[in-house]
């Protein structure tokens, strides 16, 4: 089901099936129906016109390559219920400068943010460090990784390859 949202912006999608989306030409912002529970593999792969995504709270998993290669993507809102970020999910999203990883994320798979050349800030709200796959931030400009202040040492121990980039941050609602 396609159409404009209640504010008349973007493209509203009620059901997601890989490659069954509006044309990759001219889609700027996507707003999903709240009934979506995951983004399947290759959902938006290499969509050069996609600039923003607001993923609904029902989504708990974003699958492999779901948003990879979206070179104009500057804005993404991840749902608080999200638990898994798949392999290469945001790889080669060249315009993405920052991202907030919700507190329920427990797994970030291989190369999830590989090649995000503009990525300078990652805000990871989880008190317990998510398990990281290999090369998570490969070919990024060494983004600053903001984590709950009380969890800095745990993150530095578990995410040792990024220890020098991890700093404490006082998130609202975090212990």
Please report, for residues 10, 11, 21, 92, the alpha-carbon distance to residue 26 in angstroms, rounded to integers and kept in the order given. 10, 10, 12, 20
pLDDT for position 69: 95
pLDDT for position 20: 41
Which residues have C-beta within 8 Å of that of residue 36, sequence separation ≥ 6?
A: 13, 14, 15, 16, 55, 56, 58, 59
pLDDT for position 108: 98
Distance CA 153, CA 163 (A): 9
pLDDT for position 70: 94
129 near 105, Cβ under 8 Å?
no
Separation of CA 87 from chain center:
11
Instruction: Tell me the pLDDT of the chain (175 aa) as tens digits.
Output: 333 333 334 444 444 443 444 445 555 566 666 788 888 898 889 988 889 888 888 999 999 999 999 999 999 999 999 999 999 999 999 999 999 999 999 999 999 999 999 999 999 999 999 999 999 999 998 999 999 999 999 999 999 999 999 999 999 865 4
CA-atom Rg of the chain in angstroms: 16
**145's tokens:** 């990784």
- Number of helices (H) and strands (E) in the chain: give both, helices first: 1, 13
What does 44-67 look like in DSSP terms, one character per residue?
STT-TT--EEE--TT--EE-TTSS
Name the helix (H) or strand (E) containing 29: strand 29-32
Residue 1's closest CA among 31, 26, 46?
31
150 near 127, Cβ under 8 Å?
yes
pLDDT for position 174: 55
pLDDT for position 34: 74
pLDDT for position 54: 82
């Amino acid at each position: 089901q396609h159409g404009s949202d209640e504010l008349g912006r973007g493209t509203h999608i009620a059901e997601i099936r890989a490659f069954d989306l509006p044309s990759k030409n001219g889609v700027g912002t996507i707003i999903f129906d709240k009934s979506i529970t995951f983004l399947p593999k290759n959902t938006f792969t290499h969509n050069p016109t996609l600039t923003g995504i607001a993923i609904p709270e029902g989504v708990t998993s974003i699958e492999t390559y779901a948003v990879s290669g979206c070179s104009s993507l500057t804005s993404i809102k991840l749902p608080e219920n999200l638990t898994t970020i798949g392999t290469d999910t945001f790889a080669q999203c060249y315009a993405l400068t920052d991202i907030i990883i919700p507190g329920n994320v427990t797994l970030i798979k291989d190369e999830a943010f590989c090649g995000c050349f503009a990525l300078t800030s990652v805000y990871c709200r989880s008190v317990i460090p998510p398990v990281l796959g290999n090369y998570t931030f490969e070919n990024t400009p060494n983004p600053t990784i903001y984590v709950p202040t009380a969890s800095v040492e745990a993150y530095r121990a578990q995410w040792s390859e990024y220890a020098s980039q991890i700093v404490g941050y006082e998130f609202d609602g975090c212990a």
